[in-house]
Amino acid sequence: MHISEGVLSAPVLITGGVLAAAGTMIGLKKIDYDHIAQVGILSASFFVASLVHVPIGPANAHLIMNGFVGLLLGWAAFPAILVALLLQGVFFQFGGITTLGVNTIIMALPAVTSYYLFRPLLWKNQTTGLLGAFGTGFCAVFFSAVIVGAALMFTETNFLEVAILVSAAHIPIMIIEGIVTAFCVAFLKKVQPAMLSGFRA
């Protein structure tokens, strides 16, 4: 769901950069020594999950896993996702350098939002926990699509049709992300529950 270079207006790019910098600073303050490895692993997982992509207009559709990253890291998702997006831009030209701030907001802000919305549900009964995990994956992609649409709309109102297309194209991905996140959370509950309960945003 990266936005490519040369699409967004300067005010949108600047706003995205400022917000991403603020989120990253907060995220860095939340990371302690014990969780550096976890942040690095999840950053790498996000990087790999986003490698297979399908171009759709000025954006790309692909597995994202930002909800899962946010669920485990909270605000620390900002630096984790920023590093992954930077490497994708440098090595594979996904997104770009000038759009790095906006793309970080597109991915990381929904991740943090999902953390606060759904993490409290994980340790309730099994059904509620699975629904919370599914909601994390689904809504993180949904929120990302909304932010993509907003960024395009604030750049040029004629991008309305493109914004709708991008959002509609991600509906199957929202469902898949929800299912994958639910499976990942169920697995971690069995083998490594500390990953779900040990990090505080």
Structural domains of the chain ordered from first start = 10-197 (1.10.1760.20)
SS3 letters across the chain: CCCCCCCCCHHHHHHHHHHHHHHHHHHHHHCCHHHHHHHHHHHHHHHHHCCCEEEECCEEEECCCHHHHHHHHHHHHHHHHHHHHHHHHHHHCCCCCCCHHHHHHHHHHHHHHHHHHHHHHCCCCHHHHHHHHHHHHHHHHHHHHHHHHHHHHHHCHHHHHHHHHHHHHCHHHHHHHHHHHHHHHHHHHHHCCHHHHCCCC
Q: Is residue 17 very low, low, confident or very high in pLDDT (cuts 50, 70, 90)?
A: very high
The pLDDT of residue 153 is 82
Does position 15 have pLDDT exceeding 90, yes or no? yes
Q: Is residue 78 very low, low, confident or very high in pLDDT (cuts 50, 70, 90)?
A: very high
The pLDDT of residue 21 is 96
Of 14-18, 81-85, 106-110, 160-164, which range is least confident? 160-164
The pLDDT of residue 156 is 78
* 80-128 residue pLDDT tens: 999 999 988 888 777 778 889 999 999 999 999 999 999 888 888 888 9
The pLDDT of residue 199 is 59
The pLDDT of residue 102 is 93
